[in-house]
Structure formats: structure tokens, C-alpha cells
């Protein structure tokens, strides 16, 4: 029972969603099932929030390593939750939009979340530079090709590419660095990406069929007996 | 007399800053080259310092380069140009603040372009944070530059719904089922922008701005292909190479990274001179990107000099 019910649900939902694509009268069924999915997805927020509190409160109560950071996490979470749920510091009444300029929710978002998020992403530049210095070395033929391609793309993504090779006549325009960068993206990159995508696509189809037919049961947890 | 023939040497503070910072970076790199010849490795913190200076200097002393739109960017611009006034474009903010510096300029420039062309815009997001990012466009572009444009008539924000591709799977056949109201609770049927729009199939263009999941790939798979809806995108530079297989058959064009955004801004200013004084953050960001790319290339060369010298030494042994 514990295993058969989830297996039956997976089979029914999977089969309906497949048939809804190919059989027009079943189109609405697919739509309804997707709506159910969207409703279930909302509960992931409750689970996520609850789990975040559980993990950090445990860390805090047991004084685990870096526990002071958990205080920041919990305070941030509760502050945003309160500002959002109870419209604290919102201009206008309770029905006013949360993202209204000047609301506490939007102010915290703009003044804390946006700069922190952008900073974290910007740190990538430092690691990319350091990794490029160590990794892009002409150790063999393949590495050299990769190195040359990286140089062309790096230059092609800046106005310098145009400045450096702008003098190349139009009849040889493919030799202009921005055009070479586009060629790399449009030909070798595209061929590789398509091959990977077709492989992934076939993998997804086979895995989905295994799930729908109950052959793949690891998602149920434990052994598959 | 000489002063009539020769132009006066009028260096501004910004020019001096540019020259000094370039001299510092070039001098530092030359010093590292010389050290590399003596087989001395470059420490990680030195690389970090150079990247810091190469990014900060062009921010403090801005240099704006002229950009020419590449075909993949031009295709998006031309598509919007070809739409008659009153057409409905859906702009999906599928990104978070981490990606915003790269893709927010695209969203702002495309919004400007659509509004100046008299197109109607439906704003939505597949990322919860997209709603906050839309506020940035609303406050920095729509309200100050298009005060005559009216919410619900010229544009509408229907906000965020959880469910990722599940959301798209529904709106491809019925918008109202998933978005019965806009973010402010105005019923679907009272929104003028939605007049004649039942599903995504009735839209003239969909543009997804982002780079994560859900994003442009989901828009293509769940809306563009099944509904035969024209789809375009603006994505972060790291995602752009992954999206080329969809261009041009399934995705009519793409703005890739800050370069794509800069090309679009340049094209917009070229066609609509009234935006000459509007903010062009992407064009400004091309300065730091250019210098940082050059510094990275210099470090790759230094790394290879070291590697080749080490290999030569190894052979001698």
C-alpha cells in the first residue's frame, strides 16, 4: 500500500500528461493536472521556510560552528516575513502593493538583498581570472585550441575586437574578431550543445518512461522491493 | 599663432584618471611579465588586486565605446520595430538581484523600446524576486520617462506564480486560469491590456529576461514551440552559449550578457535620439568588462609563459 499508491499516482499523472499532448479532448485534463502541480508547488514555500527555521534554530541552540550567522538568517527571514505578511511599514492600507516604492519590504529588498546578491555574483570575476590564469595553459593540441577560442571570445565580447580588426576588408569579414566570436558560438559551440541536448532529451524520455511504468522506484526512498 | 593651429591640450580630471589607471595596470602587468620570465609565479591575491583595479578604474573614470548591434541582437530590435502600435508583448522577469546588473539594463531598454513604439506590455515573472526587479523598471523607466502611459491600459503587472514550467503549461491555453487578477487584485476582465488576449497564443511577442531555471528554455519548450509564439530573450553571458541551438528557428533573437544589452541600448539611442540622455548602464559597464577581459588575457599569457619555461626546464633535465 505504502508503495503502490505513489506508484499508481505517478502512473496516472504521467499517462494523463502524455495523452493530453496527443489527444485534443484530453487537453483540459493536462491543464488541470498542471494546476494541481502549481498548488502543490506553493506548499514548497511553507516546507522551505519551516526547514530553514528548524536547521538554524537547532544550530543556534546547540551552539554549533558559526552559530552567530544563524541569528542573522533567522532575523532576516522573520523580518521579511513580517514585512510581507502584515504589511509593516507599507504606505497606504493593507491592500497596497508590497512592492510599492517606500514600503519596508521593497526598501529591504532594494537596500539589502539587491546589493548582497549582486556582490556575490560579482565575486565570480575574481575567481574566473584566477582560474583562467591556472587552467588555460597550452599543454596539448586540444588545450591550445581551447585557449585560442577563449582569446577570441574574450576579445569578441568587447569593443576592442572591433577596434583591433576593424581594418580587415569586408570580403574577409569573417576574420574580424567579433565575427570570429559569432562563428565559434554559431558553429562549434552550437554543434556541441545540440549533441549534449539531444543526449539529455533521450535520457529524460527514457527516465520518464521508467518512472511512469514503475521500473525506477528510487524516488520512493529505501530499497525498491 | 601656434595656439590657432594646435588644438588646446584640455585634459579633464576624468582623462587624467583614465591615463593614470591605464598606466598603473599596464606597468603592473609589465612587471609581472618580467617576473614570469624569471619563472616567478603570480600570487592569487595579486590577480585579485588587478581585477579590482581594472573594474573600479573605468567605473570612476567612465569610457563609453560605440557598439554595433550583432545580428542576433538586431533581430530582437527589428522584431519590436516591425510590430504595429497596440500589439501586445509579454516581458517575463525571470531573474534575481544576483543577475540583475547584467540583465536589468536589457529589461529597461526593451521596456523603453516597446513603450515608445506604442506597444502594450504584460509584465510577469517566473522568479519570485522578479517582481522586485519590475519595481525598478517601473520607478526608473516607466514613471519618469513615460508619465502618459497608464497602468492596466498600456502595461500591466500580473506578478509571480509558483510552479515554474507548470505556470507556462497553463497560460499557453488560458491566462485567466493562472492569473485571475493582476498584482493589485484588479480582475482579469477589467484589464484593458488583456482585451482580445485569452492565452499566450494571442501574444505578438514573448521576451524572457533571465538566465536561470525557469527561464527562456522553458518559455521555448512550453510556449514558443507548442503555441507557435514568437520568442526572444535576454540572458546572462554564462547562459548565452547554451541558447544558441534555439536560434533562429525557435528563438528569434537574443541579448547575451552585458555586451548584448549595450548593443541594444546603442541601437535604441541610434533610432530614437530622445533617449540620448536616458541612462545607458550597459554601455557604461562595457568599460570595466573590456579592461577586465584584457587583464584576464594578460594573465593567461603570463601563465603560459611560466608553463612553457617550466616545460623547457624539465626537458633540459
Residue-wise pLDDT for B187-223, tens only, equals: 999 999 999 999 999 999 999 999 888 999 999 999 9
A7 touches chain B (CB under 8 A): no
Q: How far apart are CA B177 and CA A31, in angstroms?
A: 9
The 10s digit of each residue's pLDDT in A2-28 is 788 999 999 998 998 888 888 888 878
Structural domain contains residue A185: yes
- pLDDT (0 to 100) of residue B165: 87
For residue B305, give Cα distances in angstroms to A11, A152, B24, B301, B311: 60, 19, 22, 6, 10
In a shared domain, residues A200 and A135: yes
Are residues A18 and A116 both part of a single domain? Answer: yes
Residue A197 lies in a domain: yes
Residue A217 lies in a domain: no
User: Average of pLDDT values for B93-102?
Assistant: 92
Q: What integer pLDDT is reported at residue A32 of this predicted model?
A: 84
pLDDT at residue B4 is higher than 60:
no
Distance from CA of A132 to the nearest CA of B (A): 6
Residue that finishes a domain, picked among A97, A126, A155? A126
Residue A12 is part of which domain span? 4-126
Q: If residue B169 lies in a helix (H) or strand (E), which one and from where to where? A: helix B165-171
Q: Stretch B261-285: mean pLDDT, rounded? A: 94
Residue B303: closest C-alpha in chain A: A133
Please state the rounded mean pLDDT for residues B19-47.
92
pLDDT of residue B258: 93
Q: Do B47 and A136 touch (CB under 8 A)?
A: no
Give me the phi and psi of A171, to 5 degrees please: -65, -20
- Same domain? For A43 and A149 the reply is no
Same domain, A42 and A118: yes
Q: Please list, in sequence order, all residues whose beta carbon lies within 8 angstroms of the beta carbon of residue B65, skipping any fewer than 6 positions away.
A: A159, B283, B286, B287, B290
Tell me: do A112 and A186 sit in the same domain. no
What pLDDT is stored for residue A27 in this prediction? 78
Whether B307 and A139 lie within 8 Å, measured CB to CB: yes
Same domain? For A63 and A168 the reply is no
Examine residue A179 and state whether it is found in any structural domain, yes or no: yes
**pLDDT at site A219:** 83
Test the A interface: residue of B44, B135, B289 with most A CBs within 10 Å: B135
Instruction: Give the model confidence (pLDDT) of A88-113 as tens digits.
Output: 887 777 777 777 777 888 889 889 99
Question: What's chain A's length in residues?
Answer: 225
Are the Cβ atoms of A189 and B241 closer than 8 angstroms?
A: yes
Provide the residue ranges of all domains of chain B, joining segments of one domain with +: 11-63+284-316, 71-279
Domain co-membership, A56 together with A81: yes
Domain B71-279 adopts which CATH fold?
A: Rossmann fold (3.40.50)
* Contact between chains at A159 and B65 (C-beta distance less than 8 A): yes
Interface touch A120/B300, C-beta < 8 Å: no
* Alpha-carbon torsion angle B281, B286, B292, B296, nearest 10: 140
Domain count, chain A: 2
- C-alpha–C-alpha distance, residues B267 and B278, integer Å: 13
Cβ contact A117–B96 (<8 Å): yes
Taking residues A118-123, report their average pLDDT: 89
- Same-domain status, A113 and A142: no
Residues of chain B positioned with their CB less than 8 A from the CB of A154: 293, 296-297
pTM for this structure? 0.88
Tens of pLDDT, residues B156-191: 999 998 888 889 988 998 899 899 999 988 999 999
Angle CA A31–A32–A34, to nearest 5? 65
Shared-domain flag, residues A162 and A116: no
Residues A107 and A13 in one domain: yes
Instruction: Assess if residue A225 is contained within a domain.
Output: no
Same domain, A114 and A184: no
What is the residue whose three cell numbers read 487584485?
A: B185
* Sole residue written with cell 484588479: B186
Nearest CA in chain A to B304: A137
Nearest by CB to residue A125, choosing from B72, B292, B300, is B292
Q: Angle, to 10 degrees, between the axis of helix B13-37 and the axis of helix B281-316?
A: 20
Interface of A with B in 141-160 (CB under 8 A): 147, 150-151, 154-155, 157-160
A128 close contact with B: CB closer than 8 A: yes
Beta carbons of A101 and B135 less than 8 Å apart: yes
CA torsion through residues B293, B300, B255, A116, sign? negative
**Whether residue A106 is found in the same domain as residue A134:** no
Chain A residues touching B293 at Cβ < 8 A:
154-155, 157-158, 160
- Helix H, strand E, coil C: the string for A20-77 is HHHCHHHHHHHHHHHHHHHHHHHHHHHHHHHHHHHHHHHHHHCCCCCHHHHHHHHHHH
Count the Cβ atoms, other than its own, within 10 Å of residue A221: 9
**Residue A116 to residue B97, Cβ atoms within 8 A:** yes
Whether chain B has a CB inside 8 Å of the CB on A30: the answer is yes
Q: What is the DSSP letter of B209?
A: E
- Alpha carbon B315 to its chain centroid, in Å, reads 48
Query: Is A195 inside any structural domain?
Result: yes
Nearest to B184 among A97, A117, A137 (CB): A97
Q: Which of B303, B309, B310 to mutate to test the interface with A (most CBs of A within 10 A)?
A: B303
**Residue B100: its chain A contacts at CB < 8 A?**
114, 117-118
Which residues in chain B are contacts of A97 at CB distance < 8 A?
183-184
Indicate the residue of A101, A121, A194 with minimum beta-carbon distance to B139: A101
Amino acid at each position: 500500500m505504502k508503495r503502490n499508491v505513489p506508484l499508481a499516482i505517478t502512473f496516472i499523472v504521467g499517462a494523463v500528461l502524455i495523452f493530453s499532448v496527443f489527444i485534443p479532448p484530453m487537453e483540459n485534463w493536462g491543464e488541470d493536472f498542471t494546476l494541481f502541480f502549481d498548488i502543490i508547488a506553493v506548499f514548497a514555500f511553507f516546507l522551505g521556510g519551516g526547514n530553514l527555521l528548524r536547521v538554524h534554530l537547532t544550530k543556534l541552540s546547540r551552539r554549533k560552528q558559526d552559530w552567530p550567522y544563524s541569528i542573522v538568517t533567522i532575523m532576516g527571514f522573520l523580518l521579511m516575513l513580517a514585512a510581507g505578511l502584515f504589511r509593516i511599514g507599507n504606505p497606504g492600507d493593507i491592500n497596497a502593493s508590497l512592492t510599492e516604492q517606500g514600503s519596508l519590504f521593497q526598501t529591504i529588498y532594494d537596500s539589502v538583498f539587491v546589493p548582497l546578491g549582486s556582490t556575490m555574483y560579482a565575486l565570480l570575476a575574481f575567481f574566473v581570472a584566477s582560474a583562467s590564469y591556472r587552467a588555460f595553459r597550452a599543454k596539448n593540441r586540444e588545450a591550445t585550441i581551447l585557449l585560442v577560442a577563449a582569446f577570441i571570445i574574450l576579445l569578441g565580447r568587447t569593443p576592442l575586437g572591433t577596434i583591433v580588426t576593424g581594418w580587415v576588408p569586408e570580403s574577409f569579414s569573417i576574420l574580424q574578431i567579433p565575427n570570429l566570436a559569432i562563428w565559434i558560438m554559431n558553429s562549434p559551440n552550437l554543434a556541441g550543445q545540440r549533441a549534449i541536448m539531444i543526449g539529455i532529451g533521450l535520457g529524460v524520455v527514457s527516465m520518464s518512461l521508467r518512472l511512469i511504468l514503475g521500473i525506477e522506484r528510487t524516488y520512493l526512498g529505501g530499497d525498491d522491493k | 599663432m601656434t595656439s590657432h593651429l594646435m588644438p588646446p591640450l584640455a585634459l579633464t580630471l576624468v582623462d587624467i584618471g583614465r591615463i593614470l589607471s591605464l598606466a598603473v595596470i599596464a606597468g603592473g602587468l609589465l612587471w609581472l611579465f618580467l617576473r614570469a620570465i624569471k619563472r616567478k609565479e603570480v600570487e592569487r591575491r595579486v590577480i585579485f588586486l588587478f581585477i579590482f583595479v581594472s573594474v573600479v578604474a573605468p567605473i570612476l573614470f567612465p569610457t563609453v565605446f560605440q557598439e554595433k548591434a550583432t545580428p542576433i541582437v538586431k533581430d530582437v530590435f527589428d522584431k519590436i520595430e516591425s510590430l504595429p502600435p497596440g500589439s501586445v508583448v509579454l516581458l517575463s522577469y525571470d531573474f534575481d538581484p544576483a543577475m540583475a546588473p547584467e540583465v536589468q539594463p536589457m529589461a529597461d531598454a526593451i521596456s523603453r523600446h516597446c513603450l515608445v513604439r506604442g506597444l502594450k506590455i504584460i509584465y510577469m515573472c517566473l522568479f519570485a524576486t522578479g517582481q522586485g526587479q519590475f519595481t525598478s523598471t517601473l520607478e526608473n523607466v516607466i514613471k519618469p520617462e513615460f508619465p502618459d502611459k497608464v497602468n492596466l491600459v498600456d502595461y500591466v503587472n500580473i506578478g509571480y506564480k509558483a510552479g515554474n514550467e507548470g505556470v507556462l503549461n497553463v497560460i499557453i491555453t488560458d491566462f485567466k486560469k493562472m492569473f485571475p487578477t493582476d498584482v493589485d487584485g484588479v480582475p482579469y476582465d477589467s484589464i484593458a491590456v488583456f482585451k482580445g488576449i485569452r492565452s499566450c497564443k494571442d501574444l505578438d511577442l514573448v521576451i524572457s529576461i533571465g538566465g536561470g531555471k525557469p527561464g527562456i528554455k522553458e518559455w521555448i519548450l512550453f510556449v514558443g514551440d507548442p503555441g507557435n509564439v514568437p520568442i526572444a530573450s535576454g540572458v546572462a553571458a554564462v547562459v548565452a552559449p547554451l541558447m544558441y541551438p534555439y536560434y533562429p528557428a525557435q528563438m528569434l533573437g537574443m541579448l547575451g550578457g552585458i555586451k548584448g544589452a549595450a548593443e541594444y541600448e546603442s541601437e535604441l539611442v541610434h533610432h530614437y535620439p530622445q533617449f540620448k540622455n536616458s541612462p545607458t548602464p550597459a554601455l557604461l559597464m562595457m568599460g570595466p568588462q573590456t579592461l577586465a577581459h584584457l587583464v584576464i588575457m594578460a594573465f593567461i599569457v603570463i601563465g603560459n609563459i611560466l608553463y612553457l619555461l617550466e616545460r623547457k626546464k624539465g626537458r633540459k633535465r
